[in-house]
Structure 1
Amino acid sequence: MLTKQTLTSWNWRDAADASFAGRLDAPTTNIHLDLLAAGLIPDPFVGQNEADLQWIQHKTWVYTTNFKAAPVATEELADLVFEGLDTFATVKLNGSEILRTENMFIGHRVDVRHLLKPENELEITFESAYDKGEALRAKYGDRICWNGHYGRIYVRKAQYHFGWDWGPSFMTCGPWKPVSLERYTSRIDDIHVDIDLADDFTQAVLKIAIDVEPKVEHHSVEVELKRPDGSVISTTQAVNGSTSIPVTQPQLWYPHTHGAQPLYQLQVWLRSAAGRVLHTKAQTIGFRRVELIQDPLKEGTSFYFRVNGIPIFAGGSNWIPGDNFLPRMTPDRYKRWIEIAVRGNQNMIRIWGGGIYEDDAFYAECDRQGVLVWQDFLFACGNYPTDKWFIDSVTEEAAQNIRRLRSHPSLAIWAGNNEDYQVANEGLKHDMQMPEEQWAKSTFGARVTYERTLPDLVQKYSPGAIYWPGSPFGGVDNNSDRTIGDVHIWNVSSGMLLPYQRYPDVPARFISEFGMISCPSVATVKETFFGDDEDQHVQSKSFEFHNKAHGYEKRMFTCIGESVRMSFELEPFVYLSQLVQGEAMYYAYRGWRRLFEGRECGGTLVWQLGDSWPVTSWAIVDHFERPKMAYYTIARAMRNVGTGISRKLKVNPRPNHQHEAFCNGKIKADAAGVIAHATPHIYPKRESIFSVWIANATTDIQTLKSRVRFISIKTGKEVRDAVEQIIEAKATGTTDIISDAEGPEAEPTVIVSEIYDANGVLVSHDVDWPQPLKHLTFPDRELKVEVRGEDLIISAARPVKGLWFTNVGVHFSDNALDVVPGQKLRVVAPGLQEGLQWRYYGM
């Protein structure tokens, strides 16, 4: 039987300074965690400590471990298996060099039979990845990259380790994945399951291929498939490493917004001629068909996912690594993060190309909890080299990770890179119409990697899987065409700085990145931003240190100040930043989801779900898993059945010609040369039109009661008669309730849409406010919050904007609420033990 001895006791030291040394007992680690545990450095995430710890990245660090090994028997094999070394490592066993590595995403298996002794010493020397990157840059030349140290382009290491506009620069090193000694006579190297699912989903055939190393005559391979309830469907013998298993009426796997996640278990046994089990492996199977639909539209093509024949609006987040120190990401942390996404009604997560191919635990949770995964290959914001040594390393990296991840039912799509086509277009002026034979020798030679090498590898190791060359990608410039492919929209919180209320005016077929910057929770700020700095102002050096976005104040203050009344006191500032982020995300999700009816928008993924450290960023949940206001506004916009409102002024009194050109065009270049501002000095009467609709993600027509009300912000009285009707909300689409009606503008008025089910239960509601909020005042609202155990019952005599409960450690079922007269909203607050704390806009 294969035995596995994971090495867990490590000694570490600075190769040149014996005063930096220590010991730990853990299967995975890195040098920053070890220095921290030994009390040799302060917490890297607190205050400005990051700046004082940059010396670590220039050192050479040595890890050693000792282990015992029994003599190797005849016909027995013994391998040291390195699942991941970060990054430039030289490995010696008992003084003999056995391995050199230069890619943290590649695993290695080394035959060490001839070197094993009863007592063994394994030594791994890690050289500076930063210094290696700079040496490669000096040798091969500068290449364009956005974010991080410039040498990162040449180094196959998590790119965010080099610093990003939301994260610090901590150049880690160490055995970041387990190292183990495996002993066996023969082992199962790989299992590849190809699922042939009938068009009507009533039948499926599993075609199973098993690779065994080494192949030994008379060994047998047995395969068993179990249903989700544990009952056995079939037990069969593989012949020449392959077998097939038919399945009748397979239970289908769906994203959690559309169905259940039944998971089948495949077990494989390798047996000797005498029937002794030599090795066993298990694999989880999910029956589903995921399609990327790109049908012609009036302009361009659609871009949406269909799962088991059901059109899915993909609403979710981008994922960056959950910690700068990856060994701290435990299965339990991954489980909690995916639970956060699911509670937020998110059905897709995009794993961004500047991070890592995530741990198996991440994908397993997405399988179990029903979250689709968009997986980037690990290239981000740069012009990567195409030298043979680099491509050889990338090829092995891609092959290993495709094989590791291909069986997960949650994995929906592979994408070649993050924003590298944008770099080529804007930074290199690459001709996207260039003939293919010229790509390799052009300024953007990596195009061969993204459009030939990687798709070929995907089809070789995972035939039929969806591959997309990059994110963003599509259209005439291969990155910003809103009518073809996917786009990243960064001209609201940065770039041209469109007001966030214009998000619905810049739709795209699929928005795979966009966002608005905001502060983390007040508790997170106080715990980590200042350290021993007594200056705790929001414009202090320590506060600014925890915001890595270039020129962030110009962007952040503009976005806040043009919509709400500013405050620079800590707690109000944090609240206002989160309020604006929440409003912006709601405008976007609400408006773009409406367009799924005509498949003009197939999905939107906010940048980003969480943070790798405590920071002011675009995250909707901070590093300590504390949701921001945007998390809740997105969750409401993504309810399976939800209502939405849009209101637009008939005449914009302060037009911006560049903004209009961007909204009316289809690529970024359409607005690039347009003069931005116009000052017509017009003072039109405030007049608007509004529309109300229901979005229904389910496959059933929903019979609902709709009520639309018009309530004075000042008095709380209704200024118009309510509009009530019974609506048959169409399946997987949008149903209009009111279209382009005259808006209520005689006085500041909120429009309220409420939809009820057949039992009179409020299913969803939306409140639309006159914009900008800074022009409104909020005298006494007569807000009442009644605490009944873990239930909160909320009402108000006059409309309340952005009610935000701030108790730390309480998982509120809803938050960031708009409360209007005539409603009693119920929020569940598990874990509420102390006095309830809240604030709302204008209080």
Structure 2
Amino acid sequence: MRETQQVLNNWKFKACKDNEWLGAIVPGCVHTDLLRNGVIKDPFYATNEHDLQWIDKIDWEYEARFDVEERLFNASSLELVFDGLDTYADVYVNGKHVLSADNMFRTWKADVKSLVTAKDNVMLIKFRSPVQEDLPKIEKLGYNLPASNDQSELGGLGAQKISIFARKAPYHYGWDWGPRFVTSGIWREARLEGWSDSRINDVYVRQDQVSASEASLTVSVEIESEHAWSGLVRLSADGQTWEQEAHLAEGVNVIEIPVTIEQPKLWWSRGLGDAHLYTFTAELSKEQQTIAAKSVRTGLRSVRLVRDKDAVGATFYFELNGVPVFAKGANHIPNDSFITDVTEERYRHEIVTAAESNMNMLRVWGGGIYEQTIFYELCDEYGILVWQDFMFACSMYPGDQAFLNNVRLEAEENVKRLRNHPSIVLWCGNNEIDSAWAQYDEKGGWGWKKEYTQEQRAVIWADYETIFHDILAEAVDAHAPGTQYWPSSPLISLSGDINQHAHPLSTEGDVHYWGVWHAVEPFENYNVKIGRFMSEYGFQSFPEYDTVMTFATEQDLALDSKVMRAHQKNGDGNRLIKEYMDIYMSEPKDFSAFLYMSQVLQAEAMKMAIEAHRRSMPYCMGTLYWQMNDCWPVASWAGMDYYGKWKAMQYYAKRSFADTMLSFDKTDDGKVNVHIVTDLLAPLSGDLRLTLYDFAGALIKQVSTKVAVAGNSAAVVFSIDEQEWLAGHEAGNVLLYAELEQEGQLVDSKEHYLVKAKEQKLTAGTIHISEVEGSNGTLFSLATDVLAKQVWLTAEGEGMFSDNFFDLIPGVAKTVEFRLRESGERMSKPAAAGKVQARSMIEFLAESKVEQA
């Protein structure tokens, strides 16, 4: 019989010490089940997080009663399968112990054929407290290992950092943007799987050589058989078929089928072409009867990480189908502290946001989870490249044999699970550990080494190398051959000396630049501290007022209130936002205005960084800001908040990531350069118009010129002398406006100011909003009588505007569309906005007396 499944439902749970059972939903976790039953209050509200730290100190149990469907019961093989148990669990079926789990990231299976009956089976899962399980390991080890973001004190554990012992999502123990909720539960599907005779466990499409003319593949079909026999494997894809005889032995067999596809439709990242996907179906047959079948979807592409020596160091970029790709995107964290609350629609919203923001890459950061399958499927569909970390971050890890074996099995399973996804172009060992420990630089790193003796340091580093230089590298090489492995991010190279550890001016490898923010360096340093691939950098802001009010009251609206501090996980975060705002912007008139201005501040910082990186191509070939999303409502580095609302930064990123972009920079000798950056492969030629306006809209000076740049390049196309153009006009009362047109069509436009925002002489004006006739409330024209900066549009309707937080220049036309993405839709569609309001920077300033326009 064909393989068949039965998902297990009808769960209940309780604390092991209690008698009363409560209803549970699987997949889920203890925290979400407690909330659903009214036992605890909203974990994200106010300071409730602090009151819920008791949950991880006790043991919990889940029970399900089930009948076995007849077809399953009659199968000769019957397995209990858990795609994810979080984390320390013992499973019993009808009173018999069938498995023990100790890794959230692995699948757990047990043969239950001899244990189940047709009716009235009972399954019990006992989850041991991760805290009680791992505390003794510190005593056994003899010292704490570094774990910078483990909020052990909040968890009532003092300095005892236990997160490093559990193969569990590191961010559950707290991070500098997330709360501490150390969960337990059944976090992925639980089911019975039955089969007889033979089944197909896995189909792997290994891409040996792929070009536009031919794809040479090897398709590996893993077949499990109860006995030896001979049959036929038929493989089909896109109307073509291939067959191979299969002589199967009892147990697991791998049948390899060579496949050639002429003129394949290649898979491209967003902006370069279609993300075409093929479905490969393998069928196992005996005497022309299909015994088993399995389908997988993949895209055909060649990809490599190019690290060639050059005059200044070495390149670091991804080449897709022979084309160097400038990576544009962000770092992704889990979308929720409680992963099972993330619906497919929330995943789709994130990936559509990436695509609509002109991104082509997301980095799945190593402190979260190996994401749910839907995440990678969406990246495949939308052409979003994935830099995939293994789940290790900002900590050193133990090296006992049990831990290493656990890591090896975790790595092998997850590489095999994800290897058919064309979006995944890199596996990375960990986040920031090489540079944090800085083995070869006695004065470098985060100060971790000084806490340990030389003997302890030698052991800790040897354990590090075993995991990140051996085990993980071997897993990628063995199970996804041809896929690049990068041991740690950031890293220069595995040189085995001081030149291994990355720094902000590295001319090889990737760079995490945090001088802006943590070291309070000026935004302008983004223009000079540029590496070959900027895999992390960022600046914080608050979410908008409506989001803040989901966790706070009016009485809490102060930077130093208890609630606001509880929703700022980076200790100095609120002070840093205020400090930078004092440098670059005028004083906000109240806390609500502060929220708005924090978003504008963040957006301006990220614009400066992104555009500096893109202008520096091909020296720099990647810019991934920190971070894409949030796991709860909080002040953070995210471009969209927990509820999926775009902050100002997300709109700025959309503009600065445009496939063809205008950008300005100013030289030390007073020249202002206009750059064109294009990721498109065709050469670009067009007309550049540069205009100097005053803030009342008067045209002071204008020039037009023909411009041309090569495809996939960046170049200065025009320069002016700032003082010559000012010609006595006040720098704080004018702006430069560049427009690039091709055949009469506007390709891009960009404003440039000659002084900081706080030195700009803004005046009050009126923004006029008019609905475009015939648009049914979806299109709006905006006009202003004086310069309106960072115009923030809001609407009564559900949805968002095609552009927002933009500058409106008198006499320069601006039209925006209101859009909504219906459930399951690939992209947003026009929608009726209802009443639209526009507010600009001037209304949020302390010295302004302007009423809302």
Quote the residue 1:55 is aligned against: 54
Question: Aligned-pair distance for 1:440?
Answer: 6.8
Q: TM-score, normalised by structure 2?
A: 0.89
Deviations 1:366-386 (A, max 9, x none): 001110000000000011111
Deviations 1:737-784 (A, max 9, x none): 2247445454122121110111x2221111111332112231134433
Question: Aligned-pair distance for 1:502?
Answer: 2.7
**Which runs of structure 2 are paired with 1:299-698 in the superposition (5 Å)?**
299-425=312-438, 426-427=445-446, 441=459, 443=461, 445-474=463-492, 476-480=499-503, 481-495=505-519, 497-530=520-553, 534-567=555-588, 569-596=590-617, 599-648=618-667, 650=669, 688-698=670-680
In 2, Cα distance between equivalents of 1:774 and 1:66: 66
Quote the residue 2:251 is aligned against: none
Q: Determine whether 1:255 maps to 2:255.
A: no
- Which sits farther off after the overlay, 93-102 or 396-405? 93-102
In 1, Cα distance between equivalents of 2:708 and 2:229: 65
Quote the residue 1:656 is aligned against: none
Q: Give the 3-state SS of the residue equivalent to 2:201 in structure 1.
A: strand
In 1, Cα distance between equivalents of 2:54 and 2:805: 43
- Which sits farther off after the overlay, 742-751 or 144-153? 742-751
Q: How many residues align?
A: 785
Quote the residue 2:157 is aligned against: none
In 1, Cα distance between equivalents of 2:276 and 2:323: 17
- Which sits farther off after the overlay, 274-283 or 37-46? 274-283
Q: Which one-letter code corresponds to 2:138 in the other structure?
A: R
Q: Give the 3-state SS of the residue equivalent to 2:261 in structure 1.
A: strand
Question: Aligned-pair distance for 1:222?
Answer: 2.9
Q: Is residue 194–residue 207 contact of structure 1 (8 Å, CA) maintained in 2? A: yes
Quote the residue 1:112 is aligned against: 112
Quote the residue 1:234 is aligned against: 241
Question: Aligned-pair distance for 1:309?
Answer: 1.2
Quote the residue 1:817 is aligned against: 806
Q: Give the 3-state SS of the residue equivalent to 1:445 in structure 2.
A: helix
- Which sits farther off after the overlay, 533-542 or 309-318? 533-542
Quote the residue 1:761 is aligned against: 745
In 2, Cα distance between equivalents of 1:581 and 1:428: 29
In 2, Cα distance between equivalents of 1:73 and 1:22: 29
The equivalent position to 2:770 in structure 1, one of 786, 796, 816, is 786
Quote the residue 1:38 is aligned against: 37
After superposition, the Cα gap between the structure-2 partners of 1:203 and 1:443, relative to the gap in structure 1 and judged at 3 Å, is: closer
Q: Give the 3-state SS of the residue equivalent to 1:543 in structure 2.
A: helix
In 1, Cα distance between equivalents of 2:458 and 2:216: 41
Question: Aligned-pair distance for 1:279?
Answer: 2.7
Q: Which one-letter code corresponds to 1:576 in the other structure?
A: M
Q: Determine whether 1:266 maps to 2:253.
A: no
- Which sits farther off after the overlay, 446-455 or 792-801? 792-801
Question: Aligned-pair distance for 1:589?
Answer: 0.8
After superposition, the Cα gap between the structure-2 partners of 1:824 and 1:72, relative to the gap in structure 1 and judged at 3 Å, is: closer
Quote the residue 2:715 is aligned against: 735
Q: Determine whether 1:246 maps to 2:260.
A: yes
After superposition, the Cα gap between the structure-2 partners of 1:97 and 1:565, relative to the gap in structure 1 and judged at 3 Å, is: same
After superposition, the Cα gap between the structure-2 partners of 1:60 and 1:221, relative to the gap in structure 1 and judged at 3 Å, is: farther
After superposition, the Cα gap between the structure-2 partners of 1:429 and 1:151, relative to the gap in structure 1 and judged at 3 Å, is: closer
In 1, Cα distance between equivalents of 2:703 and 2:488: 46
Deviations 1:344-373 (A, max 9, x none): 111000000000000010000000111000
In 1, Cα distance between equivalents of 2:226 and 2:671: 73
Deviations 1:448-481 (A, max 9, x none): 3212221111010011101111111116142225
Deviations 1:680-701 (A, max 9, x none): xxxxxxxx32110111111101
Quote the residue 1:188 is aligned against: 200
Deviations 1:704-735 (A, max 9, x none): 1101111223x43233x312111122100013
Q: Determine whether 1:717 maps to 2:717.
A: no
Deviations 1:183-203 (A, max 9, x none): 1122212222112334x5201
Q: Is residue 440–residue 448 contact of structure 1 (8 Å, CA) maintained in 2? A: no
Q: Is residue 72–residue 193 contact of structure 2 (8 Å, CA) maintained in 1? A: no
In 2, Cα distance between equivalents of 1:478 and 1:50: 37
Quote the residue 1:752 is aligned against: 737
After superposition, the Cα gap between the structure-2 partners of 1:120 and 1:773, relative to the gap in structure 1 and judged at 3 Å, is: same
Q: Give the 3-state SS of the residue equivalent to 2:79 in structure 1.
A: strand
After superposition, the Cα gap between the structure-2 partners of 1:450 and 1:740, relative to the gap in structure 1 and judged at 3 Å, is: farther
In 2, Cα distance between equivalents of 1:65 and 1:467: 41
Q: Is residue 71–residue 117 contact of structure 1 (8 Å, CA) maintained in 2? A: no
Question: Aligned-pair distance for 1:29?
Answer: 1.1
In 2, Cα distance between equivalents of 1:128 and 1:556: 38
The equivalent position to 1:164 in structure 2, one of 169, 175, 182, is 175
Q: Which one-letter code corresponds to 1:751 in the other structure?
A: L
Q: Which one-letter code corresponds to 1:707 in the other structure?
A: R
Deviations 1:4-43 (A, max 9, x none): 0110110101111235x3113x441111111111111111
Q: Give the 3-state SS of the residue equivalent to 2:780 in structure 1.
A: strand
Q: Is residue 537–residue 569 contact of structure 1 (8 Å, CA) maintained in 2? A: no
Q: Which one-letter code corresponds to 2:437 in the other structure?
A: A
In 1, Cα distance between equivalents of 2:421 and 2:360: 15
Quote the residue 2:756 is aligned against: 772
Q: Is residue 427–residue 484 contact of structure 2 (8 Å, CA) maintained in 1? A: yes
In 2, Cα distance between equivalents of 1:442 and 1:58: 28
In 1, Cα distance between equivalents of 2:263 and 2:449: 51
In 1, Cα distance between equivalents of 2:34 and 2:423: 37
After superposition, the Cα gap between the structure-2 partners of 1:342 and 1:804, relative to the gap in structure 1 and judged at 3 Å, is: same
Quote the residue 1:660 is aligned against: none
Quote the residue 2:823 is aligned against: none
**Which runs of structure 2 are paired with 1:119-198 in the superposition (5 Å)?**
119-140=120-141, 141-148=143-150, 149=152, 150-185=161-196, 186-198=198-210
Q: Is residue 223–residue 236 contact of structure 1 (8 Å, CA) maintained in 2? A: yes
Fraction of identical pairs, as percent: 31
After superposition, the Cα gap between the structure-2 partners of 1:573 and 1:57, relative to the gap in structure 1 and judged at 3 Å, is: same
In 2, Cα distance between equivalents of 1:710 and 1:573: 30
Question: Aligned-pair distance for 1:74?
Answer: 8.2
Q: Is residue 515–residue 608 contact of structure 1 (8 Å, CA) maintained in 2? A: yes
Deviations 1:483-532 (A, max 9, x none): 1111111110122x1221331111110111111100112111112234xx
In 1, Cα distance between equivalents of 2:15 and 2:449: 45
- Which sits farther off after the overlay, 604-613 or 640-649? 640-649
Q: TM-score, normalised by structure 1?
A: 0.90
Question: Aligned-pair distance for 1:328?
Answer: 1.3
Question: Aligned-pair distance for 1:558?
Answer: 1.3
Q: Is residue 802–residue 816 contact of structure 1 (8 Å, CA) maintained in 2? A: yes
Q: Which one-letter code corresponds to 1:736 in the other structure?
A: V
After superposition, the Cα gap between the structure-2 partners of 1:410 and 1:824, relative to the gap in structure 1 and judged at 3 Å, is: same
Q: Which one-letter code corresponds to 2:692 in the other structure?
A: F
Q: Is residue 64–residue 122 contact of structure 1 (8 Å, CA) maintained in 2? A: yes
